[in-house]
Structure 1
Amino acid sequence: MRTAGNGRGTGRRAVRTRVRALAAAVACAALLTGCPGAGNGDGEQEGRSPFTGESVPDASAPVLAVKIDNVAAARPQTGLERADIVYVEQVESGLTRLLAVYSSDLPPSVGPVRSARESDIELLRQFGEPAFAFSGAQSRLRPVLEDSPLHLMQPGDAPGAYSRSPDRSAPHNLYLDPEGVLDEAPDAVSGASDIGFRFGPAPQGGRADTEETVRYPAARYAFTWSAEDGRWLVSIDGREATAADGGRLGAPTVVVQRVEIRDSRFKDRGGSVSPYSQTVGSGEATVLRGGRAYEARWSRPSAESGTEFTTPDGDPVDFAEGQVWVVLAPR
């Protein structure tokens, strides 16, 4: 995978490395001195990722979102296992694509990269102004994307960070170097911040559950609890989902967020209407962790605000530390 080869990108990479090193030193000093103020009432903790709850060198590193192909010809994908959050979105013909969010850990390669949808704009606004890597969009959607506050990073914006794999046929063979993309991204890219996730001990109650299935018109996801791995292992369309290196995909927390999926204003090249998953508003959700399922409510008052998940009594539903899958399921 090629990387951006200009001095500006190299300088930005060096700056980020120094910032992360300084953040790690500050966090270490705080632990040694036992200084107060390690967290706040909002559930954020210094030195911990607001997306995974895990200890990281830089809890406010730049946010990069990548649109990833998910048809059979695109599997196994590369780099999904190191995303902080993986969103599942419905697209045309009842199929799905994935939107992977990175901040605390950047793999050397991610892909296959595919095109954006209108839903991505609303979904990503809760991350501030992140970098958004994708390959193309419907012609009428392009000006809408350009008017959004997202930092669009298509192959033309960072050509040195994208490459085609000779092992797959187009369009399922475009991959990116996340570090290279961020080297070319504007300095104003938002860092990781609170998007409403809370991490801590499992809630009271819930029901024993070792497998949960989510169906779309032409796709099916199954999440099977593995006590040995401490994760919900992912299967797609009846087959185990794996990373390109052969490891099984899975996450300690899976959120099935039931949303309204309606027709958008746009169509694909074949004339099929693109669905729009509405992530602003409120509705029901199921949070899977530790071999149990917890019924919850989700609430997001505006595109700029995060998404909160609460019990029927209004208490936060804490997630387990680690990667989170959010399945935007039909209501």
Structure 2
Amino acid sequence: MNKKHAAAAAALLVPAVAVTAVLVARPHGGTGEPAHRPQARSSPASPAPSPSAPPAPADEPPAPEGPVLGVKLDNAAPARPHTGLEQADVVHVERVEAGISRFLAVYASGLPDVVGPVRSARETDLELLAQYDDPVLAYSGAQGRLKPYINRAPLRPVPPEELPGAYFRGTDRPMPHNLYLRPGRVTDAAPELAGLAAGSLYETGAAPAGGRRTAARTVEMPAARFTFDWSAERRGWEVAMDGTPALSGGERLAPPTVVLQETTIRRGGFGDRWGNNSPFTETVGSGDATVLRDGRAYAAEWDRPTAADRTVFTTPDGEPMPLAEGQVWVVYVPRG
């Protein structure tokens, strides 16, 4: 781990332990506290809209050169097809209230002209983004009690109220599924984003020996279903959501790597206005995973000791588990 990560880890470790104790003491949605209680940070400023058609393996992946941009995306049926999702380096698939899903799309190697639809942040996002140095989070709204934690997290939040000119409403679908972000406008608040040039956020390389030939894999959530079909022609897993091909940028999404990361998805400290609890997905810790790449499924393990550490994937015998070059989807599934 580099010195910057070590310092961040030390700063985050004590708060994380303290907040876990609070969550155990307050199991009910409206009264609990979030699992991530990071440190203070400074906030950004403002700018205008206009729509657009929607070497040897290391112990830890190479750090991105500069910050990453995380964008919280809607994934309800009226929000599809997405815009700009095909250009994300990593798509984190989270379960939220009422069993539906949302995405946290992370951009590290470049920014699309437009991304959306953008929706509200969740408790899980704060812990997820803590593994990157000085990340930027674009989102629209958050549960009232969560906002102080967003403002204290080790990230730079850029909701519409801070950067109104960076967001616009589309006319092709109803509210609230029509809010879009122009990432280029965010560079006024985070100029470093203008020159994103990170390599992969995970170790990449040739697939290890073994694996089980796999043509398709389906992941069920209480109110969402994802199917990944291997396409040898496209060298990727074509995505279907709730039985419908998933599109972005005018073509079907087909990430070269899909990781099914088994973790604890428990009752969170927040809920929505209708009384539904928003589950918290634990992304610090370790566990089993399945890596889908090159038309095969590989047994793997994941490890992230603290919130400041990057997630590392290995084979069951402890060797690095390289992912394929290109977009990675990480789907969080309950421990088996």
Please tell me the TM-score bracket, short chain as reference.
0.7 to 0.9
Sequence identity percentage: 54
Could you say which residue in structure 1 is the equivalent of 2:75? 70
For residue 171 of structure 2, give the secondary structure of its aligned residue in structure 1: coil
Give the letter for the 1:79 counterpart: G
Q: CA deviation at 1:60?
A: 1.6
- Count of residue pairs the alignment pairs up: 284
> Which structure would you say has the larger RCO, counting Cα contacts within 8 Å and 6 or more residues apart?
2
Which consecutive residues of structure 2, in runs of 5 or more, have no partner in the other structure? Answer: 1-45, 49-54
Answer yes or no: is 1:246 the counterpart of 2:268. Answer: no
Secondary structure of the residue aligned to 2:172 is coil
Matched, 1:317 2:321: yes
Partner of residue 47, structure 2: 4
1:63–1:189 Cα contact (<8 Å) kept:
no
Q: Is the contact made by 2:128 and 2:283 (CA closer than 8 Å) also made in structure 1?
A: yes
Q: What is the rounded CA distance, in whole Å, between the counterparts of 1:96 and 1:214 in structure 2? A: 12
1:120 is the counterpart of 2:125: yes
Structure 2 vs 1, CA of residues 183 and 266 (structure 1 numbering), >3 Å: closer, same or farther? same
Task: Give the superposition deviation at 1:62.
Answer: 3.3
Q: CA deviation at 1:172?
A: 0.4
Deviation track 1:285-330 (CA, whole Å, cap 9, x = no partner) reads 0000000000101010000001111111000111111111111112
CA contact (8 A) 2:112 2:183 kept: yes
Give the one of 139, 156, 160 matched to 1:155.
Answer: 160
Amino acid in the other structure paired with 2:133:
G
CA distance change for structure 1 residues 213 and 192 in 2, over 3 Å: closer, same or farther?
same
Q: Does 2:102 match 1:97?
A: yes
Give TM-score scaled by structure 2 length: 0.80
Q: 1:316 to 1:129 in 2, by over 3 A?
A: same
1:108 aligns with 2:144: no
CA RMSD after TM alignment: 2.4
Amino acid at match of 2:258: V
- CA distance in 1 between counterparts of 2:280 and 2:311 reads 18
- C-alpha offsets along residues 138-165 of structure 1, whole Å, 9 cap, x if unaligned? 0011111111111000011111111011
1:256-276 residue CA offsets vs partner (Å, 9 max, x unmatched) = 101100011111111111100
Give distance in 1, aligned partners of 2:193 and 2:112. 22
Structure 2 partner of 1:225: 230
Alignment of 1:248-327 (within 5 A): 248-327=252-331
Q: Please tell me the residue identity of whatever aligns with 1:160.
A: G
Segment drifting more, 194-203 vs 278-287: 194-203
Distance 1:109 1:195, change over 3 A: closer
- Could you tell me how far 1:179 is from its partner in structure 2? 1.3
Distance 1:199 1:188, change over 3 A: closer
Q: Which residue type is aligned with residue 307 of structure 2?
A: A
From the superposition, tell whether residues 246 and 192 of structure 1 become closer, same or farther in structure 2 (CA, over 3 Å). closer
Structure 2 residue corresponding to 1:42, chosen from 58, 72, 78:
58
Offset at residue 240 of structure 1 (A): 0.8
Amino acid at match of 2:120: S
Q: 1:168 aligns with which of 156, 173, 185?
A: 173
